[in-house]
Each structure stands twice: as structure tokens, then as C-alpha cells.
């Protein structure tokens, strides 16, 4: 776990700095024009929803198959990433040509048939341009992960956009950028992040024009193509489960509600920072352990990451439950966001369960069971599609319905994966530590919401946040509920960098 701890903590420090910058913008700047913010959020969610069609799952392939290649690891990693970049470039070119020749006619036909296709009717070029940036970034980030580098990529992927977006938004609301100019600048911001990854890889010496024949220890090109194909279908299911809600809210309700809902997602997104970091750095380790059929190492990784992630997610989730009502009252503008409180709690519950099951996706994707992962992903993505339509369109539950659909989908998805991993590998993420942490979360949330309010919203945030922080510090310091975190408190965080 040494390399996981070092890289994850560095990544988390950068990511939480990005969250701090983003939080200021979310509370101070973005409420000035929720329509514009909702528009930008919808564009990026369309890109995430369609991203799998641009990448063909090659970012998974280059991590999964690196341990199976002979020769120098860096050279083999470079051979994989160069092939991946060529493939996604051809794909982006094909999508662009198809939109140029048939995009408008296809959109008009679908609209004529009564289908509401949202931003695909008007913003296809913006979406494709941003999609291209996304897929290149995904490939480069996976390549850097193969070289055990996730902290600096987080600087470009997370922190840079968090700093630049408020600047662009401010220029737009004060009349220096038109709405169209703002969105194109938004696209350019992500391209800047992608180009920064290229420069970083070059500086590290891991981005070179190396091709050559791939030399396999075992498995081969056919297996790589198979994994890529299955990853596409699995990615469709995953995208439907995690990004469909925002797209449907924007399409059927509008930009304003989209911005309110994405603030709830932003709150929950804080929980995902350690989750994303540990999954990213764990992926090569899981692939290596499976290549060696080291089930004990997989068991250790599964339980240890579940324990740490559930605790980290529980702290943030408790803080959201207890503090958000006061946060909404900070200003007259932030009160607009209070409509999304229930959505934030539901989304957070789904994410907390996702963190409880930790690296179960990796244990399917990076082993010989990846085909089953595709089946689960597609089925549950379809369930989320149905639930979102029923709750948003049929029942008219708005953003609360979207959050409920997403939470239920995440829980079902992870229950199925957890059962499957146990049936195949005989390992599970549950432990006494997880049970103790769950009890503490329930107690902290239950007591925290009853803390008396003052006449100052900012003071309420401080008092409630302090209660949550001190409660979890006491749990970690005076019990052995989460041994890994207690070791940090006792030995000092500096030891994690040795």
C-alpha cells in the first residue's frame, strides 16, 4: 500500500485544493447566472455520456495489458499509448466527418420524429471538440498511471479547470464574452489541460515516438481487441448510470435546474476524490496481482481500500448532511441551491455505498471476468435509463427523482458486482471496521442535524463542521476502528512520504 498512500495523498491534496477553489466559485460566482452554469454543465455531461464512443476503451486496455508485455516496462508502455493515440485520433476524425456530412440531417429527422435530443440539436461541434480533448486526456492519464504518476495529472485535469472556469464565467456574466464565446472558451480550457499532460509526459521522458512489435508473455492482440470491444459496451452502461441524470434534467426541465442539480453533484464529488485517486493508482497493482494470480494481495487491496474509502466518504457525507442547510443560507443567491438538498443526500448515499465496495470494478475489469462486468454495466445502465425517465418525466419528481434513480442504480450495480467478485475470487470488502464506521456515520448525522441554529449562517457552518470533524477525530484517535487512519494520526502524515 506504500505507493498507493504516497500517490493518493499527493493527488488528494491537489484535488481538494481544486475543490476549495470550485467551492468558492459555486457559492459566490455561479449563482449569479444559473442558466449559463447549467448550459456549461450540460455540455460537459453530454461529453462524458458519449465519451466511450471516442475512446473505444483503450485507456483500460493499456493499463490491463502492460503486465503481459515482455521487455522494458517504459518502452512497452510507450508502444501501447502510441497505438491508443492513433486509434482515438482516427475515431475523432470519423465522428467529425460524420457530423459534417450527416449531423444536421440526422438531428432534423430525430426532432421530426418527436425525439427531444437536447444539445445535440444545436451544439454538436462543441460536444465533439470537447470529446476529443477528453479522450486524449483519458489515454494520457492512463499512460501516466502506468508510470505511477497520478498527482500531476490531477493538477491539470482538476485544478487547472477549477481556476480557469470562474475567470471565464466572470468574463461572461460581466459582458466580456458572449454565451457562445464562453462555451468555446470552456472547450479551449480543457484542451489546455490536455496539452499540459503531453508536455508533462515529454518532460518525464515517457512520451516518445516508439512503435515496434508488441511482445507478449501471454495473451495477445486478440485479447486486447476483445477487452476494448467489451469496454465499449461496459462504458455505455457506466455512462448511463452516472451521467444520464444531468442530460435528462437539462433536456426535460432546463438549464436552471441543471445548475442546481450539478451543485449537489459538486458536493458529492468531494467524496469521489480519494475514491478516484485510489482506483487510479490501484489499477496497475490489481493487473499485476492478477497476472501473478496472487489472490491474497487482491484480498488485501480490496479490504484495505474499502476500509479507507468508506471512512473518507463517511466524513464528507456526514459533513454534507449536517452543514448544507446552513451553507444554503450564506447569501441570498445561494438560497437558490437549497432545492437540491434532498438530491445531494440521495446522491451522497449512492456514492458512499460505491466507496464501501471500493475496487470491485477493477477486480472485474482487470481479471479474466471483464466480460461479465460489461453485462452488469449494460443491464444496470438500462435500469438507470428507465428509472430516470419514470421519475423525471412520468412522475415529475424533478431533480429529486433523478438523484433517487442514480442512487438506486449505483446500489444495485455494486451489490451485483460485490456478489460476483465473491463468487469468482472468494473475497469481499466487508469487515468489522466498516461496520464500526457505518455506526459512527449514523450517530454523527443523527446528532448533527439537531444542533441549535444561530442567527449567523457562517457560524452555523463552523459549529456543525467542527462537530463532524471532532467526532471523527475522536473515533480514529481513541478506537482502532480504522487502523490505517489511526496509524497516520499516531505516526504523522510525513511517514507516508518515506
Name which residue leads in pLDDT, 221 or 439: 439
Residue 43 has pLDDT above 50, yes or no: yes
Q: Give the mean model confidence (pLDDT) for residues 1-10.
A: 53
User: What CA–CA distance (Å, rounded) separates 151 from 157?
Assistant: 10
Mean pLDDT of the chain: 84
Mean pLDDT, residues 413-431: 87
pLDDT confidence of residue 374: 75
Retrieve residue 1's grid coordinates: 500500500
* Nine-digit cell string for 409: 442504480
Nine-digit cell string for 466: 467542527
Q: Which H, E and C letters describe 283-297, residue by residue? A: HHHHHHHHHCCCHHH
Q: How confident is the model at residue 390, as a pLDDT? A: 93
How many other β-carbons are positioned within 10 Å of the β-carbon of residue 35?
12
Q: The pTM is what?
A: 0.78
Q: What are the respective helix, strand and coil percentages of the chain, to the nearest 5?
A: 85, 0, 15
Model pLDDT, residue 304: 83
Alpha carbon distances (Å) from 116 to 110, 113, 303, 493: 8, 9, 44, 52
| Highest-scoring range by mean pLDDT, 27-31, 151-155, 379-383 | 27-31
What does the pLDDT look like over 53-102, one tens digit per residue?
777 777 777 777 777 777 677 777 777 888 888 888 998 999 999 999 99
Enumerate residues 6+ apart whose C-beta is below 8 A from 294.
none
- The residues near 302 (Cβ < 8 Å, ≥ 6 apart) are 358, 359, 360, 363, 421, 427, 428, 429
Per-residue pLDDT at 342 = 94
pLDDT tens for residues 221-268?
676 666 666 667 767 777 777 788 998 999 899 899 999 999 998 888
Of 104, 363, 401, 108, give the one whose Cα is nearest residue 248: 401
> Residue 444: its pLDDT value, please?
95
pLDDT for residue 487: 62
Q: Nine-digit cell at 337? A: 441551491
Cell of 125: 461541434
Mean pLDDT of 339-365: 89
- Number of structural domains (the chain) is 1
Condensed to tens digits (0 to 9), the pLDDT of residues 288-307 reads 787 778 788 888 888 888 88
Please state, as a whole number, how many other Cβ atoms lie within 10 Å of the Cβ of residue 406: 27
Least confident of 49-53, 136-140, 354-358: 49-53
Domain that holds residue 166: 2-497
Amino acid at each position: 500500500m506504500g505507493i498507493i498512500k504516497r500517490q493518493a495523498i499527493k493527488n488528494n491534496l491537489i484535488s481538494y485544493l481544486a475543490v476549495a477553489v470550485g467551492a468558492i466559485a459555486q457559492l459566490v460566482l455561479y449563482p449569479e447566472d444559473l442558466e449559463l452554469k447549467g448550459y456549461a454543465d450540460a455540455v460537459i455531461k453530454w461529453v462524458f455520456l458519449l465519451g466511450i464512443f471516442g475512446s473505444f476503451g483503450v485507456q483500460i486496455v493499456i493499463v490491463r495489458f502492460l503486465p503481459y508485455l515482455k521487455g522494458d516496462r517504459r518502452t512497452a508502455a510507450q508502444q501501447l499509448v502510441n497505438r491508443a493515440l492513433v486509434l482515438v485520433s482516427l475515431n475523432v476524425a470519423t465522428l467529425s466527418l460524420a457530423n459534417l456530412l450527416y449531423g444536421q440531417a440526422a438531428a432534423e429527422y430525430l426532432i421530426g420524429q418527436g425525439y427531444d435530443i437536447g444539445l445535440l440539436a444545436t451544439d454538436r461541434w462543441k460536444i465533439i471538440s470537447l470529446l476529443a480533448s477528453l479522450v486524449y486526456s483519458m489515454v494520457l492519464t492512463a499512460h501516466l498511471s502506468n508510470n505511477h504518476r497520478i498527482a500531476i495529472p490531477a493538477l491539470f485535469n482538476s485544478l487547472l479547470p477549477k481556476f480557469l472556469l470562474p475567470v471565464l464565467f466572470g468574463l461572461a456574466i460581466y459582458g466580456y464574452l458572449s454565451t457562445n464565446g464562453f462555451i468555446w472558451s470552456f472547450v479551449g480550457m480543457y484542451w489546455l489541460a490536455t496539452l499540459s499532460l503531453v508536455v508533462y509526459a515529454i518532460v518525464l521522458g515517457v512520451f516518445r515516438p516508439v512503435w515496434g512489435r508488441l511482445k507478449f508473455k501471454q495473451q495477445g492482440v486478440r485479447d486486447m481487441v476483445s477487452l476494448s470491444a467489451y469496454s465499449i459496451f461496459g462504458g455505455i452502461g457506466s455512462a448511463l448510470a452516472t451521467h444520464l441524470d444531468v442530460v435528462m434534467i437539462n433536456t426535460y426541465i432546463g438549464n436552471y435546474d441543471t445548475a442546481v442539480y450539478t451543485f449537489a453533484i459538486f458536493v458529492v464529488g468531494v467524496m469521489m476524490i480519494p475514491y478516484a485517486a485510489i482506483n487510479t493508482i490501484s489499477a496497475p497493482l490489481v493487473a499485476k496481482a492478477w497476472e501473478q494470480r496472487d489472490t491474497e494481495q487482491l484480498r488485501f487491496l480490496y479490504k484495505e481500500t474499502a476500509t479507507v474509502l468508506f471512512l473518507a466518504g463517511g466524513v464528507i457525507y456526514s459533513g454534507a448532511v449536517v452543514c448544507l442547510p446552513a451553507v444554503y443560507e450564506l447569501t441570498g443567491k445561494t438560497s437558490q441551491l437549497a432545492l437540491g438538498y434532498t438530491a445531494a443526500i440521495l446522491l451522497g448515499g449512492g456514492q458512499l455505498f460505491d466507496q464501501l465496495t471500493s475496487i470491485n470494478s477493477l477486480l472485474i475489469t482487470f481479471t479474466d471476468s471483464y466480460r461479465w462486468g460489461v453485462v452488469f454495466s449494460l443491464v444496470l445502465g438500462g435500469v438507470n435509463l428507465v428509472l430516470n425517465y419514470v421519475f423525471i418525466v412520468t412522475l415529475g419528481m424533478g431533480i429529486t427523482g433523478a438523484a433517487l434513480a442514480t442512487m438506486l442504480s449505483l446500489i444495485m450495480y455494486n451489490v451485483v458486482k460485490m456478489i460476483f467478485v465473491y463468487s469468482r475470487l472468494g473475497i469481499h470488502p466487508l469487515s468489522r471496521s466498516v461496520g464500526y464506521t457505518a455506526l459512527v456515520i449514523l450517530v454523527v448525522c443523527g446528532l448533527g442535524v439537531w444542533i441549535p441554529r444561530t442567527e449567523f449562517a457562517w457560524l452555523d457552518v463552523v459549529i456543525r463542521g467542527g462537530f463532524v470533524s471532532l467526532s471523527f477525530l475522536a473515533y480514529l484517535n481513541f478506537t482502532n476502528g480504522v487502523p490505517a487512519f489511526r496509524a497516520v494520526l499516531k505516526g504523522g502524515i510525513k511517514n507516508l512520504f518515506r
